[in-house]
Amino acid sequence: MQLVHLYAERGSPKYKKAAMRWLERYIAESSPRLHHFAETTASLAKLEPSED
C-alpha cells in the first residue's frame, strides 16, 4: 500500500494500475466485507492524481 500512496503523492501514471492490483490482492487475501471494501476503494479514488 505504501507504494500506491507514493505513486499518488508523485502524480505517477502508474498509480491507477498499482491501486487496482492492490485492491485485487486485498479482496483475494483478506475477504473484506463489502462496506469496508467500498470505503477503501473510495479512499484510493480520492488519491488518484488529476489528469490536468
Give the number of residues written for the chain: 52
User: In angstroms, rounded to a whole number, what is the distance separating the alpha carbons of residues 52 and 39?
Assistant: 25
Domain boundaries in the chain?
Answer: 1-33
Confidence (pTM): 0.84
Residue 10's pLDDT band, with cuts at 50, 70 and 90, is very high
3-state helix, strand, coil in the chain (%, to 5): 75, 0, 25
Q: Whose CA is closest to 48, among 10, 3, 16? A: 16
Residue given cell 491501486 in the structure block? 19
Res 6: pLDDT = 95
